[in-house]
């Protein structure tokens, strides 16, 4: 295996991980920002108030995008396994 192939495989791995994680991270970021603004406006500084909405939003996002995420990971794994014979 050459260094170029290993670097390309790592690049594909990191890009796939970023694309798969992006919906959950984006939604929790937006929900966290909204909750933080609401806490500043209402002056309620409860630490547990930030976790519940983000947890619910992450769960809903996983339900909505879970099949797409799994399909994307499976495509990456199939691509990786089918490339093994060409490496040697």
pLDDT above 90 as % of the chain: 68
**Structure token pair of residue 48:** 């547990």
pLDDT over 90 at 83, yes or no: no
Q: How far is it, in rounded angstroms, from Cα 41 to Cα 2?
A: 56
Please report the pLDDT score of residue 33 as a whole number. 94
pTM of structure: 0.80
**Structure token pair of residue 58:** 């992450």
The three-class DSSP label of residue 36 is: helix
pLDDT over 90 at 5, yes or no: no
pLDDT tens-digit readout, 17-61: 999 999 999 999 999 999 999 998 988 888 788 899 999 999 999
Please report the pLDDT score of residue 64 as a whole number. 96
pLDDT over 80 at 14, yes or no: yes
């Amino acid at each position: 295996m050459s260094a170029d192939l290993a670097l390309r495989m790592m690049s594909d791995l990191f890009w796939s991980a970023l694309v798969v994680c992006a919906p959950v991270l984006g939604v929790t970021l937006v929900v966290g920002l909204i909750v933080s603004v609401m806490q500043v406006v209402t002056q309620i500084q409860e630490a547990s108030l930030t976790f519940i909405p983000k947890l619910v939003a992450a769960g809903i996002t996983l339900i909505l995008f879970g099949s797409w995420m799994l399909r994307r990971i499976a495509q990456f794994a199939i691509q990786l396994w089918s490339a093994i014979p060409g490496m040697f």
